[in-house]
Structure 1
Amino acid sequence: MLFEDFQKKNKPSDAEVKAEYNRVVAQMGAGSGGKEYKSRHILVETEDQAKALIVQINKGAKFADVAKKNSKDPGSGANGGDLGWADPAGFVPEFGNSLKSLKKGQMTQTPVKSQFGYHIILLEDSRDLKRPPPPKLEEVKEQVSQKILQDKSEAWRKNIRDKATIK
């Protein structure tokens, strides 16, 4: 009975529902996102190996051919170093940060060191990630209202528990 009274007295207002909806939509970043990158890489053991391969590529050798011949990456080496489209967060930080710093068609001119060895990275392309638009407020108003009421009731219960004295 007490909880039912609480629910009736604390029904979220339209303004509260709209504010919570807007907060969640903003947090989701709906309609936009980060970027994903299409790249290739060559992984070798030493910095000197990587520097020598960079020189070869700069002199006209095809990146994919050099990767097939020299990369120790078992997943991409045989495919010319092709990593496909990926979020840079999916790579080790050194690799992901270097990838994000490149322009389309650009290759790292100094080897990128990671725990796997030394990388030469070629950025082939990048694109914005698009997230689907959020549902309209009218479609989710009841769920948002329930969430607000749940949050309020949890705070109310916590307050009661905190004030309770057990003898």
Structure 2
Amino acid sequence: MKKSSVSARVTLAVLSAALLLPLAAMAQNVTFVNGKPVPKSRVDALLVQATRQGQPKTPELEKQARDEVVLREMFMQEAEKRGLAASADYKQQMEFARQTILIRELFSDFQKKNPVTAAEVSAEYDKLKAQASGTEYRARHILVEKEDDAKSLLAQIKGGAKFEDVAKKNSKDPGSAENGGDLDFANPGSYVPEFSQALVKLKKGEMTDTPVKSQFGYHIIKLEDTREAKFPELAEVKGQIEQRLTQQKLAKFRDDIRAKAKTDYKFEN
């Protein structure tokens, strides 16, 4: 083989490599800004954040991400050029940002390693269902500020006026007045004690003979109906229970860290 032929091949190889280098660099970078590369990994990270928040990964979103990282590089270079990275305010904000991100990662890591199990969800469901068992009462009421007004309205109803009409016209409870005082089915424990005690003594269709005083004013109460408490199926509330248990676990994790830390600082709460 001729020496000139070998030399030519080496030259071609070097040229080919030189031509491929920019292509390889561009594969790893979006572009260069003032000679500094903008890594494609920044775009990928931004897209991960966006999709985690529920945005679909579309060509338009990818373009927005590329635009964003290039603009950020331009602005970053200008800020550094002006010496802002050396300012005390910038350093303080960076420290707060570092703490925030690290704390977020702490709780995220704990949540990943301590997921809510199906058994925990089932046990919590059974507990909530047991607490919700019993009788629910469907009541109507009329709320007024003065006892004399309540007595007057009672007399009107006993005289033949419809409870619903009197409630719409006179009740001060904005949540039920428009519906004729209807409170729908509820556990009596969800009401203030005075109201609950008077309600459970009534039979269907009965009304309190005298006004019932509570912290809100004076009530006239009528019992419309009763039923055994209904509780939704597990599938309907599974997501809510998982969220509730996750929050409880995170709260305990936070409190455990706080309890074992050595400090003489006293929290007010």
Same structural fold, with TM-score higher than 0.5 when normalized by the shorter chain: yes
Deviation (angstroms), 1:79: 1.1
1:93-143 CA-partner distances (Å, limit 9, x unpaired): 0001111110000000100000000000000000122569xxxxxxxxxxx
**1:75 aligns to what?**
175
1:70-149 equivalence runs, <5 A: 70-129=170-229
Residue 149 of structure 2 corresponds to residue 65 of structure 1: no
**1:159 aligns to what?**
none
Q: 2:147 is matched with which residue: 44, 47, 59?
A: 47
Q: Which has the higher contact order (CA 8 A, sep 6+)?
A: 1
Scaled by the length of structure 1, the TM-score of the pair is 0.59
Q: Secondary structure at the match of 2:172?
A: coil
Shift of the 50–35 alpha-carbon distance from structure 1 to 2, 3 Å rule, reads: same
**Stretches of 4+ moved more than 4 A in 1?**
27-30
Indicate the RMSD between aligned Cα atoms, in angstroms: 2.5
Shift of the 71–131 alpha-carbon distance from structure 1 to 2, 3 Å rule, reads: closer
CA–CA distance in structure 1, aligned partners of residues 221 and 196 of structure 2: 10
Number of equivalent positions? 110
* Structure 2 residue ranges without an equivalent (≥5): 1-126, 233-269
1:36-87 CA-partner distances (Å, limit 9, x unpaired): 0111000001111001101100011000000000000011011110101111
Q: Secondary structure at the match of 2:161?
A: coil
Q: Secondary structure at the match of 1:73?
A: coil
* Largest Rg, 1 or 2: 2
Identity of counterpart residues, as a percentage? 66
* Structure 1 residue ranges without an equivalent (≥5): 1-26, 133-167
Shift of the 28–86 alpha-carbon distance from structure 1 to 2, 3 Å rule, reads: closer
Letter matched to residue 66 of structure 1: V
Scaled by the length of structure 2, the TM-score of the pair is 0.37
